[in-house]
Structure 1
Amino acid sequence: MPFIYIIIILISLPLNALALVAFTCWIREKKPAVIYMSHLACVDLLFTLLLPLKIHYQMNASDWVFGEAACRVLSAAYYCYMYCSILLMMSMSVDRLLAVVFPIASLTWRSTRKATFICTLVWLLALAGTMPLLLMSQTVEIKNLGVTVTCHDVLRQNDPTVLYYVHLFSILSCLYFFLPLVVTLVSYSTIIYALSVKSDRLTSSSDKRRRPVIMAAAVLFVFVVCFAPTNGILLYHCVHLATGGHREGDSSYAAYLLAVCLESASVFLDPLLYYYGSSQYRKQVRSVFWCKKAKKGAKMQSNTKDSQCTTASQ
């Protein structure tokens, strides 16, 4: 897992930093999609910066040495990242639905101020949902294994907090995952249907129809592959403990660790959403790479001319 996290950092850090700079500095026209994606890039970047703590924890034999307060912050930040990403992707899907299905009527609804308000509301909802993790003890001493403190990785059987976790993650999974998943699926299904109907009536480029399909597939992939296993397995594990069905070596813990890795991988899949979800971002990225290629080509031509001049003088 530390090796996987290192790869995620190496890929995610430059991609999301580039996206954040593009959305905040290079793109002057702040459309609602740009606002949503800039916040999503910020969430991914902040989460990536927290991964070195998880790497140190796992390379140190799952021994948390940073104290109880840091453990609570890391645990809350981890779930805050997940639910904030889910809510932002849902908001992007609804915004895209309004733009495609109601292009004229939604002009007054889809404003920069309202998009900023929605993003602020998403942050507040994610913080409120994960706030209980800041108020609960997240460390467990396991002296017989030689591990002094374990951060949000072990729950004691028959512990009263297990029932609290069951109720908490049941509510979070329903309100912050399954409901946004349904809204996102309905939104992109409606978008694809509306574009197919319009393409039958009007002659439109295949690129305009292909991009929403790729966008919908990418969002669905992130939801199902990255976020669904964590929510499902964690809820199952808590219920399993609460009902007294836990046994030593239960395979659900190994599955949960794999799900955590898959969830973290979403931070470098989100740039795919930026590329297919914002034409402004595509133009900026293409201009950056074309500029580099043009400078490289001009430098090569200059070197060729200099060598030709030197040969002629000789």
Structure 2
Amino acid sequence: MCTNDTFNISDEAVDFLKGLMVTRIMPSIYIFVILISLPLNGLALVTFTCKIREKTPAVIYMSHLACVDLLFTLLLPLKIHYQLNASDWVFGEAACRLLSATYYCNMYCSILLMMCMSVDRLLAVVFPITSLTWRSAKKATCVCVLVWLLAVAGIAPLLALRQTFSFKNLGVTCFDLLEEDSSVMLYLSVFLIIPCIFFFLPLVVILVSYSTIIYVLCVKHDHSATSPSSSDNRKRAAIMSHQHNILLPKLHC
């Protein structure tokens, strides 16, 4: 319900948005993320861009991943202030849209970049000779540019939504509550179509890629390499692939 652009919501929603989880626990997590992410991603970005001279596809993907995480971290203080202020947004509509767009752009870019890394490793393992012409630094850079463009396209519907609303029993919310009368297709694109493209499709590609890598390293080549050194190399490669697969579900709180 609304009167003169001032909305009313249930007491349960108010209790949640002003509760301990939202106003204390989540900001504490974000502060911890900043303390860890800011120095480590800054160091990683400097290392990948300045210290490592040989720009392999993996280095390029990792540098872009560090960059997108760093940009997201720099905007987290706005989110922390909002929640510590009892879910009362004071920075205006434009800043709210920028924050929510950056939040989701970070997720989209990160997931797509990890998908690209999994495909790159798949090509390196399954087609080590043939893929040398495909896995160039120039092509990896073009792929990263495409990833950024796709992520920006993915947040375009989100930017079309009004995201700040004034509630007389709460304050001004930012992306926590949305209008009921917005376009159905707009909601479908933001909450159904885009997640399928940016989450489930990359998930399938990543699972298939690393499953294939492990299969090739541990099963298919067992009959062709019997020396201890070759076996140890395959096991180490399989362990590295498994460890990267474990790190895939990034926390976005």
**When the two structures are superposed, what TM-score results if normalisation uses the length of structure 1?**
0.67
Aligned to 2:204: 182
Aligned to 1:263: 252
**Does the aligned pair in 1 maintain the 2:217–2:237 contact within 8 Å?**
no
Please give the root-mean-square deviation of Cα atoms over the aligned residues, in Å. Answer: 1.8
**Does the aligned pair in 1 maintain the 2:162–2:178 contact within 8 Å?**
no
Greater helix share, structure number: 1
Q: In the alignment, does 2:78 pair up with 1:53?
A: yes
**Does the aligned pair in 2 maintain the 1:89–1:219 contact within 8 Å?**
no
Aligned to 2:221: 198
Structure 1, gaps ≥5 residues long: 227-261, 265-314
Structure 2, gaps ≥5 residues long: 1-25
Read off the aligned partner of 2:224 and give its amino acid letter.
R
**Does the aligned pair in 2 maintain the 1:97–1:190 contact within 8 Å?**
yes
Residues 221 and 33 of structure 1: is their aligned pair in 2 closer, same or farther, counting only changes over 3 Å? closer
Q: Looking at CA atoms only, which structure, 1 or 2, has the larger radius of gyration?
A: 1
**Does the aligned pair in 2 maintain the 1:9–1:51 contact within 8 Å?**
yes
Q: Which one is further off, 93-102 or 212-221?
A: 212-221
Question: Distance in 2 between the 1:82 and 1:161 partners?
Answer: 24
Aligned to 2:245: 219
Question: Distance in 1 between the 2:132 and 2:41 partners?
Answer: 29
Equivalent residue pairs, number: 224
- Secondary structure of 1:141's aligned partner: strand
- Secondary structure of 2:135's aligned partner: coil
Read off the aligned partner of 2:173 and give its amino acid letter.
T
Q: In the alignment, does 2:93 pair up with 1:73?
A: no
**When the two structures are superposed, what TM-score results if normalisation uses the length of structure 2?**
0.83
Residues 88 and 125 of structure 1: is their aligned pair in 2 closer, same or farther, counting only changes over 3 Å? same
What is the percentage of aligned positions where both structures have the same residue? 67
Q: In the alignment, does 2:159 pair up with 1:134?
A: yes
**Does the aligned pair in 1 maintain the 2:41–2:69 contact within 8 Å?**
yes
Residues 212 and 15 of structure 1: is their aligned pair in 2 closer, same or farther, counting only changes over 3 Å? farther
Read off the aligned partner of 1:193 and give its amino acid letter.
Y
Instruction: Please give the per-residue CA displacement for 1:245-265, whole angstroms capped at 9, x wherever unaligned.
Output: xxxxxxxxxxxxxxxxx324x
Question: Distance in 2 between the 1:82 and 1:36 partners?
Answer: 15
Question: Distance in 1 between the 2:102 and 2:223 partners?
Answer: 46
Aligned to 1:31: 56
Aligned to 1:311: none
Aligned to 2:144: 119
| Residue in structure 2 matching 1:159, options 181, 199, 208 | 181
Aligned to 1:271: none
**1:207 offset after TM fit, Å?**
5.5
